[in-house]
Structure 1
Amino acid sequence: MQFLSRWESQRLSTTTRGIPLVDGLATEDIGNQRWSPAHGDLALPALTFDETAFAANRDLFLRWCASAGVTVAPHAKTPMSPELAHSLRAAGAWGTTVASIQQAAVLLASGERRLLLANEIGGLAAGRRLGAVLSAYPQTEFHAFADSPAAVAALAEAARVADRRELSVLVELGAGRAGARDRAAIEATMAAVLAADRLVLGGVATYEGAVATADAGETIRAISALMERTIEAFALVRTAAPHLPLIISAGGSAYFDVVARALAPIAQADGNATVLLRSGALFFADHGIYARAFAEIDRRGGLIIDGAQHSAAGSFRPALTLWAEVLSRPEAGLAIAGFGMRDASFDQGLPVPLRVFRDGVEQQELAETLSVTRLNDQHAFLSVVSGSALAVGDVIAFGISHPCTCLDRWRVIFGLDAAGVVTRALPTRFG
């Protein structure tokens, strides 16, 4: 196990949210303390993840991938935890996805050696930065996106600086975000790759979440159209690279079932191609945007694993919990809890009260009397029904919506076992 230096341990134990004010405790020793957020042992607010739920989500999705004929490189940007990235790869993931040069540097330094950089990197200066990173890891299998000749030039510069014999480029097409918009842009990007030294065509990529709308039917039509464009682009790349193994990559996001149905038969018919999803947040699930997404998957037929139908909503389990204490009951119908926009995601819905504890004892049904109405920097405003027994000092467990924008607020998250006891502390590496 890797121990932090004494300075890092001190910093972690005295200034990091969630860590009680203990002196000189290494992160590897935190799991031995038997802390329980329900008992108020952590310095609240704190963010925890259910180890059992995370493992169950991981195993479920990897089983579904195998049955659907696709693979996954989980997106590291969700937790930016090398430990969790390693665990997903060890369980059978293809590799790891990153969104930036900085994220690539973190994952490479942690030992990952198969990366997909699912983004354009910028111009020539960015290419030099990427090349400097890759030069330290010559054995890394590395793939990156490009949607224009300028993006290709940046990757060629990275390959030159890194002195790599070849760097794999996936031609990105898309709508609503980055990505070549038409056949001419795709062909120009391909031509730039073929003309560049040290670059090879590695396949095609897209992100279906960018075309989603509030209308479910319209969203499926837009994604289906994007999949058709992706298949057409893949055919162009295959013609230009007839013998190379190729990747067809899509985000996965909330529409992994739609993506797999469209792309898996293409890869199977090709015989030398892999459908690579980049799903990351679904391993954590949530009580908001992903809960709604799983319900939509069930309306589309659910998860089909080895011919058997499973409910996505009933199978994926929310793994993240935000813990906070009631600070004030200043007036009837109002409670102030000790967390705010600095601690929780709110872009896809406010946190949801799940359970309430007093001196470590759950107060049955008390959470049903509460709802979060708004947040400011460090306070949550809770509407409280008349007659609620909620009191100052009560500890509330909240479910969150959108794991990505919650996890990036935390430098340390805590694993919990089935009894709600802290098993470990995982530092995040958002920078």
Structure 2
Amino acid sequence: MQFLSPRDSRLSTTTRGIPLVDGLATEDVGSQRWSPSRGDLALPALTLDEAAFGANRDLFLNWCRSAGVAVAPHAKTPMSPELARSLRAAGAWGTTVANIQQAAVLLASGERRLLLANQIGGLAAGRRLGALLSAYGDVDFHAFADSPAAVAALAEAARIAGRSELSVLVELGAGRAGARDPAAVAATIAAILSADRLVLGGVATYEGAAATSDAEATLRAIATLLERTVEAFALVRTTVPQRPLIISAGGSAYFDIVARALAPVAQADGNAIVLLRSGALFFADHGIYARAFADIDRRGGLLVDGLHHSAAKSFRPALTLWAEVLSRPEAGLAIAGFGMRDASFDQGLPLPLRVFRDGVEQQGLADQLAVTRLNDQHAFLSVAPEAALAVGDIIAFGISHPCTCLDRWRVVLGLDADGVVTRAFPTQFG
């Protein structure tokens, strides 16, 4: 599998966001001193506010420590080995991936503790995973299974990789993959115990898949799922009384509920950890996660070393989408140069934040704009009658749902506090 290395890659004129500089090495991007607000970039472009990302990282890792849980940030959000490495260096337990391809990218970049938080498929997938793991005998690797068929695939992977042990977590589920009842849990445990080269590593779930549009029903469903997870953990512990175990759950919206339910269980056990998999919250956003953080505040906010923090006020959106006004074809309408190929839209449309003209911010102008719809490469903006928006103006947009925005970009550009590009973060989506 080929992917860009931050040390030796070359950015071509076809790399979105990069000006017409052919063959520029990624490590030389920061020396160009580009600023998107001045129009230096080839728009559209996606940027990462490095200070906001760092503040989100430090807040969440401190909260994890205080709450008695660990985190393996989900790499599927940015698929940036450099960002994954930075989170681990700051104190993350390891890294989560969603499939074999993502595992290959992270292993090739040097990560050596991975949680594959998904079912991999059948025996053919097991052979692919085994071939990958055979090249990385030193990796601390954990995978999910929710059925004897899934266990058989992982046993095939362990056989081909020549591993004496492969850790398997029994996955419970609601709304997505995962064992649905005690019989399925028991059958999965029995299959792991009878398989050569596999060991019971713990239990896992994903509470976000239980969410619905009904907030109260969602909380009840999550509570039930976590109760089932605790029951399954007790069964696994009875089966392997001495083995260190993992209890894994927790995305970026309900991690506080997960910690309250599961941390006491791990603490009472004395030989287990609660491992969250949150990834999107390090980027935050102006939409789905802004709303999720407000909900966390309604549940009591974040408690770090005895001090309360507002999640909505503390997590800062780190991603900005930059685009130029291409046309003002009629009153009340502007066409901006980005579309569905550039921005997430599954959880809300981008939000105009700031407008720049010749590098100077036009105060208050963004408040008079709204994105109404997207096509593949155009955004349609409603414009208030009094708004003096002009062709060539550059608009900074906030996005909703980082996971489905980042995967549209081969390169995300880091920004410093002055809005100047400091580096390039190549992404490695399959």
Does the CA-based 8 Å contact 2:6-2:426 persist in structure 1? no
Give per-residue Cα distances to partners, 1:269-303, cap 9 Å, x unaligned.
00000000000000000000000000000000000
Indicate whether 1:360 and 2:359 are aligned. Answer: yes
**Structure 2 counterpart of 1:84:** 83
Q: How does 1:181-200 map to 2 (within 5 A)?
A: 181-200=180-199
Deviation for aligned residue 1:252: 2.7
Give me the TM-score of the superposition, normalised by structure 1.
Answer: 0.98
**Separation in 2, partners of 1:303, 1:109:** 35
**Structure 2 counterpart of 1:322:** 321
Q: What secondary structure, in the 3-state scheme, does the structure 2 residue paired with 1:353 have?
A: strand
Deviation for aligned residue 1:307: 1.3
Deviation for aligned residue 1:220: 1.0
Runs of 4 or more above 3 Å deviation: 1-5
Does the CA-based 8 Å contact 2:99-2:116 persist in structure 1? yes
Indicate whether 1:148 and 2:144 are aligned. Answer: no
Structure 1 residues 376 and 67: CA distance shift in structure 2, 3 A: same
State the number of aligned residues. Answer: 427
Q: How does 1:381-396 map to 2 (within 5 A)?
A: 381-396=380-395
**Structure 1 counterpart of 2:12:** 13
Does the CA-based 8 Å contact 2:6-2:425 persist in structure 1? no
**Structure 1 counterpart of 2:105:** 106
**Separation in 1, partners of 2:134, 2:364:** 57
Moved more, 319-328 or 210-219: 210-219
Indicate whether 1:303 and 2:302 are aligned. Answer: yes
Consecutive unaligned residues of structure 2, counting only runs of 5 or more, are none
Indicate whether 1:22 and 2:29 are aligned. Answer: no
Indicate whether 1:205 and 2:201 are aligned. Answer: no
Structure 1 residues 162 and 64: CA distance shift in structure 2, 3 A: same
**Separation in 2, partners of 1:215, 1:65:** 28
Deviation for aligned residue 1:53: 0.2
Q: What secondary structure, in the 3-state scheme, does the structure 2 residue paired with 1:58 have?
A: helix
Q: How does 1:217-366 map to 2 (within 5 A)?
A: 217-366=216-365
**Separation in 2, partners of 1:253, 1:395:** 31
RMSD value, Cα: 1.0
**Separation in 2, partners of 1:96, 1:161:** 23
Give per-residue Cα distances to partners, 1:188-224, cap 9 Å, x unaligned.
0000000000000000000000111112211111111
**Separation in 2, partners of 1:277, 1:387:** 48
**Separation in 1, partners of 2:253, 2:23:** 42
**Separation in 2, partners of 1:2, 1:143:** 26
**Separation in 2, partners of 1:4, 1:284:** 24
**Separation in 2, partners of 1:191, 1:339:** 52
**Separation in 1, partners of 2:181, 2:306:** 37
Q: What secondary structure, in the 3-state scheme, does the structure 2 residue paired with 1:57 have?
A: helix
**Separation in 2, partners of 1:43, 1:73:** 34
Deviation for aligned residue 1:251: 2.8
Q: What secondary structure, in the 3-state scheme, does the structure 2 residue paired with 1:106 have?
A: helix
Indicate whether 1:132 and 2:131 are aligned. Answer: yes
Give per-residue Cα distances to partners, 1:12-62, cap 9 Å, x unaligned.
231010000113211100000000000000000000010000000000000
Q: What secondary structure, in the 3-state scheme, does the structure 1 residue paired with 2:132 have?
A: helix
Give per-residue Cα distances to partners, 1:207-263, cap 9 Å, x unaligned.
000111112211111111111000000001001110000000003320000000000
Q: What secondary structure, in the 3-state scheme, does the structure 2 residue paired with 1:292 have?
A: helix
**Separation in 2, partners of 1:212, 1:2:** 37
Does the CA-based 8 Å contact 2:328-2:335 persist in structure 1? yes
Give per-residue Cα distances to partners, 1:312-370, cap 9 Å, x unaligned.
00100000000000000000000000000000000000000000000000000000010
**Separation in 2, partners of 1:52, 1:216:** 33
Amino acid at match of 2:181: D
**Structure 1 counterpart of 2:174:** 175
Does the CA-based 8 Å contact 1:343-1:410 persist in structure 2? yes
Structure 1 residues 3 and 122: CA distance shift in structure 2, 3 A: closer
Give me the TM-score of the superposition, normalised by structure 2.
Answer: 0.98
Q: What secondary structure, in the 3-state scheme, does the structure 2 residue paired with 1:115 have?
A: strand
Q: What secondary structure, in the 3-state scheme, does the structure 2 residue paired with 1:21 have?
A: coil
**Separation in 1, partners of 2:13, 2:246:** 46
Consecutive unaligned residues of structure 1, counting only runs of 5 or more, are none
Q: What secondary structure, in the 3-state scheme, does the structure 1 residue paired with 2:12 have?
A: helix
**Separation in 2, partners of 1:365, 1:246:** 53
Give per-residue Cα distances to partners, 1:84-121, cap 9 Å, x unaligned.
00000000000000000000000000000000000010
**Separation in 1, partners of 2:368, 2:342:** 23
Give the share of equivalent positions with the same residue, in percent: 83
